Each structure stands twice: as C-alpha cells, then as structure tokens.
Amino acid sequence: MVKQNSKRFQDAVEAAVAIIHACGRSPAEPALRDTPLRFAEFLVNEFPGEMDDRDFLQGQSEESYDEMVVEKNIPFMSFCEHHLLPFYGVAHVSYIPNGVKLSGLSKLARLVYRFAGTLTIQERITKQVADYLEKNLSPLGVMVILEATHLCTSYRGARALGASYVTSAIRGVFSTNPAAKAEMQQLLRS
C-alpha cells in the first residue's frame, strides 16, 4: 500500500483533478469531492510498477520435474500507454522445467501482475513474462498467451466493442516440438 502522503499519491490526486476539469466538471461538486482520492488509491495500489524480484526468486524450488506446468486464466488489468485507458483479460502461462528449477505456483500469477502493473502494451507484457521465465528458470520451453479487451479500441477509434486481442510468446521446445505446442493448446481448451 502506498501512503497518502507520498509524492506518487499526491501526483495521482492532482492528475484526477485535472481530468475532472478536462471533462468540464468541478472536483468541488458533491458527487466528485472524493473522486481524486479514490482514483489515487486505485492507481497507486493496483498499478505498482516495478516490483522486487526477490518475491519470485524466493518461490523457486529445486525439484526433479520435467513435465509441463500450466497456469491458465490468470486475470490481469493494465493501462494502455498510448491512450491511458485500461485493458484487461487473462493470461495463460506454461513452461517445461529443465528438471531442476520450479516456480512457486502463485509466482506465475504474480509475474503477470508485475509486468501488467504499469503503463504498457499487451505485446510487451507477453514478451516480458516469457523472457523472465526463460532467464530465471532456464526451462526447456515457455509459452505465454494473453487475451485482452482494450477500452482504447472499444470506446474510441475503431469502436470494436467486444473484440479481444491475443498475443503469444513461444520459446524453446514449444516452438520446435509440435507435440509440446499441441499439448499446451489442448490444455487451454480443457
């Protein structure tokens, strides 16, 4: 939790006040009086930006296991760096351990949360999660798939209400072994 007296919190309050004014309203209106504080609490608590690697690395274990590990339907939310509008969806993360390093089960979701917790784009989150797992676990393969709805395309520009976007990052045996890729795809459908 970020303290209300922090510079980041105060910056978020000021930004909310500016947005309210830009919408032609006044933050002094009774309905909007607490909106800047609520917005700042949301922004600084739900979008932490960079997080400490120790949380992920401490969750690793040495274990003789070389079968696929999949966590699917990991919910995430982020803000589009181009339009400052939210996008949200689910991530599916899979890796095949090299027989030595395993991630803690909750750590895959935390990893998605970590990279989504800032202004970014969906493609970058997808790549960052895959690259991080590859670097820190040295797995035989990594596959990361994100499915998301973007408010910047739903409510402006294309106005593609209901459209979802899918990105993927495929590394190691998932890219060279069709059977491994097919198994992951089958697990996602189940």
Model confidence over 53-74: pLDDT tens digits? 676 666 666 677 889 999 999 9
Q: What is the pTM of this model?
A: 0.86
Residues of the chain with CATH 3.30.1130.10: 59-189
Model confidence over 12-51: pLDDT tens digits? 999 999 999 999 999 999 999 999 999 999 888 887 766 6
Q: What are phi and psi of 186, to 5 degrees?
A: -65, -40
Instruction: Look up tokens 């991630």; give the residue.
Output: 103
179: number of Cβ within 10 Å = 8
The type of residue at 188 is L
Specify burial of residue 178 (Cβ count, 10 A radius: 0-12, 13-18, 19+).
exposed
d(CA 117, CA 94): 20
Specify burial of residue 118 (Cβ count, 10 A radius: 0-12, 13-18, 19+).
middle
Specify the fold of 59-189: GTP Cyclohydrolase I, domain 2 (3.30.1130)
Q: Report the pLDDT value the prediction gives residue 103, as an integer from 0 to 100.
A: 84
Measured CA to CA in angstroms, residue 112 lies from 22, 75, 115, 132 at distances of: 33, 9, 5, 10
